[in-house]
Amino acid sequence: MKKKQPVCSGKLVRRKFKKLQVVADKTVQLHDVRTITLPEPTDFIQAIETQVEFLGDHVISGKVIKQFRVHKVIKFLPTGTDGEVLFHRESIDFTAFIEAPVSPSDELDIENFVLRVVPILEPVGTTPTTIWREKTVVDVRVVVARVVITSEMTGKADCFFRSSCGPREFHSI
């Protein structure tokens, strides 16, 4: 019996594509506690505004190191004034380590999502005071994806196997 030979019409082309393969999807919670000194005594904090600045990523074998900074503007009313709002700026550097099967030679796509920033100020001692205990909690979601190259056949082609019954009879695959 003769081996069946395929008969194809159309054109297929092998193309390479870059795709992202997620290798880590982690949520990290970071804490910072410190004492700050306001320029004037106060007993009332009006508001704390926060902004997160991502500084960079460093990849070492098995880990991604995230560095970012939380900028805060503390609005407060000094004691003995009639409604005058003063501002105090603070910046806190954070570093997070994300375990991931990566190496420095990998081509990576790293996305950061700030889930929440919780700033808390508590007076140290009795109010009014200039010394406050500042607590900051930051939840960050980090998605690490590796760029992989795949190849696929694209195009349109119809292939049939020639039957041993005769030259004009074809069976579709």
How deeply is 57 buried, as exposed, middle or buried, from its count of CB atoms within 10 A (0-12, 13-18, 19+)?
middle
Q: What is the pTM of this model?
A: 0.72
Q: For the chain, give the longest Cα–Cα distance.
A: 106
pLDDT digits (tens, 9 = 90+) for 117-132: 999 999 998 889 999 9
pLDDT digits (tens, 9 = 90+) for 47-106: 999 999 999 999 999 999 999 999 999 999 998 888 889 999 999 999 999 999 999 999
Query: Side-chain half-sphere of 2: how many Cα atoms within 13 Å?
Result: 10
Query: Side-chain half-sphere of 49: how many Cα atoms within 13 Å?
Result: 6
Q: Which of 88, 90, 144 is nearest to 117 (CA)?
A: 90
Q: Kindly list the domain boundaries of the chain, sorted by start residue.
A: 22-146
Contact 74, 48 (CB under 8 A): yes
